[in-house]
Structure 1
Amino acid sequence: MRIADLAGRRVAIWGFGREGHAVIKALRMRLPAQPLTLFCSDAEVDAARTFDASLEIVVGEPDATTLSRFDVVVKSPGISAYKPALLAAQAQGTQFISGTALWFGEYPDARVIAVTGTKGKSTTSALVAHLARALGMRSALAGNIGLPLLELLDQRAELWVIELSSFQTGEAGPLELGVVTSLYEEHLDWHGSRERYVADKLKLADAARTLLVNGQQPGLLERTAAHPHRLLFGTPERWHVRDGAIRRGGQAVFDTAALAAPGLHNALNACAALAALEAIGMDALAAAPALAHFRPLPHRLQPLGERDRWHWVNDSISTTPLATLAALESLHGRAVTVLVGGHDRGLDWTPFVDAMRSTPPNAIVCMGSNGARIEAALRSAEIACPIMRVADLAGAVAEAKTHTPHGGVILLSPGAPSFDQFKDYAERGRRFAALAGFDVAITGIEGLGIG
């Protein structure tokens, strides 16, 4: 659907976050006289009226009757497509779309690499854009990574690198290359079940002319086997990591020690980015040296520095137990106290607990709404390290200081969302930095937009 197709129809915008702002602004640019209704919270009303005084504002969660008044509702990604009211209105003929879908409608011929995955999608997206720019290609970096696509409406790029969450993959139009970095369970509260999450995530395969997937994941390989143009990374004959080097087949291309982003998983993200460029016909070997100049994304295994003889690492973006395991792997051999827990969305912590049986860290501090559940699982498994439970992040930092030897690492890698106590993972990460004593401004992601 294009924006022009909304003309003369009854249109509402559901959600007044950054995506909602971008949708309203884009519709006003193209359809200045179009009546628009906004569904938002009571706390957002004044800001919404300041942003666009002509909006009709409906306060609170809309029910099916309210939603059914509209021909089209443009919803923000965080609003589940499986809400009963939404499904009921959809059955009555209301069409639900997103800013992502509208952008694809406006740019049907754009050259697009779209990246998704349970973990690794943001870093891989940023790496693809960084490496493409190193080869002189004017590239855009946008999407779920922190810049809604509609904020770049009417701008041009030779290559669009778009991160898509599982909320957005079904909204993508036809694209040159889709990349799936990994696939585990996540966002079960939005999707309703693990199977639905996986199915929604892999809707990207339907849109992608060529699909690039992580060859180290048997389940992902099985689920994408039917794609007519599937490529792999992470396997010995392709781009992979072995013996301290990123390799293309048997050829050593880049020393992993030269990567600023630590850990095997980040080296594998680099493999995915190089494989993506190669898949669209670019010179990945020529781009590889630029990996040395890539700056890690904020809140993703971000070293804050040394304070009070401890090393502090901010991995607040970690929202699954498997992401926490990857963070611990990247710090293997060091005395690490890890802070885990947050909003409980029902994810299975068994793989984390099983890993702690054989490779326990220095200590584990459990916090947040699922802290008690994590602590109980760890104690039941008789994990051989100190295990503490506290209410909040401040308490977790205090406990970590008590139980971490000088020279050790205090790692925030919660394995859970932040919504029980913080607006988002970035706010949680900034609070961690402040509690650690760092007076630093954690800036946004470098390279967003067109460059």
Structure 2
Amino acid sequence: MRISELEGKSVAIWGYGREGRAALAALRWRLPAQPLTVFCSPDEVEALAELQDPQLTVLPTVDAAALRSFDVVIKSPGISPYTSPAADAALDGVTFIGGSGLWFAEAPAGRRIAVTGSKGKSTTTALIAHLLRAAGHRTALAGNIGLPLLELLDVQPPPDAWAIELSSYQTGEAQDLDVAVVLNLFPEHLDWHGSEARYFADKLALVTRGRPRVAVLNAADAALAELDIPAGTAVAWFNHGDGWHLRDTVVHRGELAVLDARHLPLPGRHNRLNLCAALAAIEAAGFDAVAAAPAAAGFRPLPHRLQTLGQRQGVEAVNDSISTTPHASIAALDLFRGRRVAILVGGYDRGLDWGVFAERIAADPPAAVITMGQNGPRVFEKLKPLATGDRFLLAEATDMEAAVRLGLQALGSTGVLLLSPGAPSFPRYRDYTERGRHFARCAGYDPDVIASIPGLGVA
């Protein structure tokens, strides 16, 4: 649905976070006289009143009855269409769309590369933008990574390429893609999707419904290997000997050794595979990936993703607040294998099974596991049978301050204090960024220094 098609319809915007603000600005730019309604939280009413928009109605509460009075509701990504009141209103004919859907319908010029996956999508998307820019191509970096697509609706001159991160909340809205990248699939966001099967289906909609010209897929992921590829979509496999893959630490394109990744600012095998995915995407979009690859040496790692904050009194503090699944926490532990690690885990309880994390702890225990957050007690009980003798310290913390203190006590004068929660940040924090900043502050570092995402926008 294009923005012009909203003219004359009754339209509401549901949610006034950054996506909601971008939607309101875009509609006001294209439809300046259109009456609009915004459903927001009570503490956002004042900010909307300051706009002094006579055609804007602000409502601090929402229910199915209120939604039913609109033809179209532009909802923020975090609002699930599968639960009440959205599901109820949809049954009565209300059309729901997100800001990403509006942007894609406008079909901006430039080759569009969209990236999703249960982990690694932000780094991969940022790598694509970095490598293309280094090769001299004007490139936009936007989407779920921190800049709503609607904020770049009328960029002039248009970029040569778009590097777009999409969450599972947004993948179903993508269309007219040149390249769709799916990195991996692990159960996540089950509270939003309702089931693991629906989460996988929504994630894979980037390929199945988006029908890209080329799908770049991880050959080592069983679910992707079995994916039914739509007619007309070619497949480029990475993490496979015929395509972009790793041999030890060396990035290869088929039999061609392209570069050694040991000294790149991409810690861990998973990040080097993200580089393989980025190079495969660039190649699939028609650019020279082999020539672009050496520019990875100049990549600036993203905050809150295995981010080293510094070292104090022999202890290295690492912020992996983006970690929202047990698999991500395992990957973080694997990176520091052989070192003394105190890992801080726990957050919002989505009911995920922490059995795979317990297996990793049993096989190779760290110095300490500190649990916290809503699911902290459940993770603690899962690990308790393993914490016998002096194999590792298992402790519970009531908040981040206590978790950091317990972790530092366990490490003494050497080791890694690792925040890799394996769970979402809410309700204690607004998002993983706020959680990572709090961890930095508790560990003695300036959160403002570590927080910015490089490269957002067009360059």
Provide the TM-score with structure 2 as the length reference: 0.96
Quick one: which of 433, 441, 448 aligns to 1:426?
Answer: 433
SS at match of 1:289: helix
Structural mapping, 1:106-145, within 5 Å: 106-107=106-107, 110-145=110-145
Question: Bigger CA drift: 96-105 or 228-237?
Answer: 228-237
Check the 8 A contact 1:180/1:214 in 2, yes or no.
yes
What is the match of residue 189 of structure 2? 187
SS at match of 1:202: helix
The number of equivalent residue pairs is 450
Q: Structure 1 residue 339 and structure 2 residue 344: aligned?
A: yes
Q: Structure 1 residue 367 and structure 2 residue 350: aligned?
A: no
SS at match of 1:57: strand
What is the match of residue 214 of structure 1? 218
What is the match of residue 80 of structure 1? 80
Check the 8 A contact 2:249/2:261 in 1, yes or no.
yes
1:289 Cα offset (Å): 0.6
- Cα distance in 1, alignment partners of residues 356 and 345 from structure 2: 14
Deviating beyond 2 angstroms after TM superposition, the runs of 4 or more aligned structure 1 residues are 51-54, 223-228, 380-384
What is the match of residue 278 of structure 1? 283
- Cα distance in 2, alignment partners of residues 387 and 126 from structure 1: 36
SS at match of 1:213: strand
Unaligned runs of 5+ in 1: none
Quick one: which of 264, 267, 270 aligns to 2:272?
Answer: 267
What is the match of residue 301 of structure 1? 306
- Cα distance in 2, alignment partners of residues 330 and 346 from structure 1: 26
Question: Bigger CA drift: 211-220 or 178-187?
Answer: 211-220
SS at match of 1:252: strand
Alpha-carbon distance change, 286 to 110 in structure 1, aligned in 2, over 3 angstroms: closer
What is the match of residue 447 of structure 1? 455
SS at match of 1:46: helix
1:51 Cα offset (Å): 3.5
Check the 8 A contact 2:238/2:245 in 1, yes or no.
yes
Q: What's the CA shift string for 1:220-270, capped at 9, x where partnerless? A: 211245664122100122111122211112222121212112111000000
Output the amino acid matched with 1:30: R
What is the match of residue 167 of structure 1? 169
Question: Bigger CA drift: 76-85 or 184-193?
Answer: 76-85
What is the match of residue 49 of structure 2? 49
> What percent identity do the matched residue pairs reach?
53
What is the match of residue 67 of structure 1? 67
Check the 8 A contact 2:236/2:243 in 1, yes or no.
no
1:141 Cα offset (Å): 0.5
Structural mapping, 1:13-28, within 5 Å: 13-28=13-28
Check the 8 A contact 2:330/2:357 in 1, yes or no.
yes
1:106 Cα offset (Å): 1.2
- Cα distance in 1, alignment partners of residues 45 and 285 from structure 2: 45
Output the amino acid matched with 2:458: I
Question: Bigger CA drift: 176-185 or 242-251?
Answer: 242-251
Output the amino acid matched with 1:82: Y
1:352 Cα offset (Å): 0.8
Output the amino acid matched with 1:186: E
Check the 8 A contact 1:335/1:409 in 2, yes or no.
yes
Q: What's the CA shift string for 1:243-301, capped at 9, x where partnerless? A: 22111122221212121121110000000000111112211110011010001100000
- Cα distance in 2, alignment partners of residues 224 and 327 from structure 1: 32
- Cα distance in 2, alignment partners of residues 420 and 24 from structure 1: 26
- Cα distance in 2, alignment partners of residues 63 and 279 from structure 1: 44
Check the 8 A contact 2:219/2:237 in 1, yes or no.
yes
Q: What's the CA shift string for 1:390-409, capped at 9, x where partnerless? A: 11111100100110132211
SS at match of 2:213: strand
What is the match of residue 246 of structure 1? 251
- Cα distance in 1, alignment partners of residues 386 and 314 from structure 2: 32
What is the match of residue 415 of structure 1? 422
- Cα distance in 2, alignment partners of residues 68 and 426 from structure 1: 35
- Cα distance in 1, alignment partners of residues 444 and 110 from structure 2: 45
Quick one: which of 401, 404, 408 aligns to 2:408?
Answer: 401
- Cα distance in 2, alignment partners of residues 98 and 23 from structure 1: 9
Output the amino acid matched with 1:297: L
1:436 Cα offset (Å): 0.8
1:415 Cα offset (Å): 0.4
Aligned-residue RMSD, C-alpha:
1.3
Provide the TM-score with structure 1 as the length reference: 0.97
SS at match of 1:128: helix
Check the 8 A contact 2:313/2:414 in 1, yes or no.
no
Check the 8 A contact 2:107/2:176 in 1, yes or no.
no
Q: Structure 1 residue 99 and structure 2 residue 99: aligned?
A: yes
Alpha-carbon distance change, 435 to 195 in structure 1, aligned in 2, over 3 angstroms: same
Check the 8 A contact 1:310/1:406 in 2, yes or no.
yes
1:109 Cα offset (Å): 5.2
SS at match of 1:220: helix
SS at match of 1:304: strand
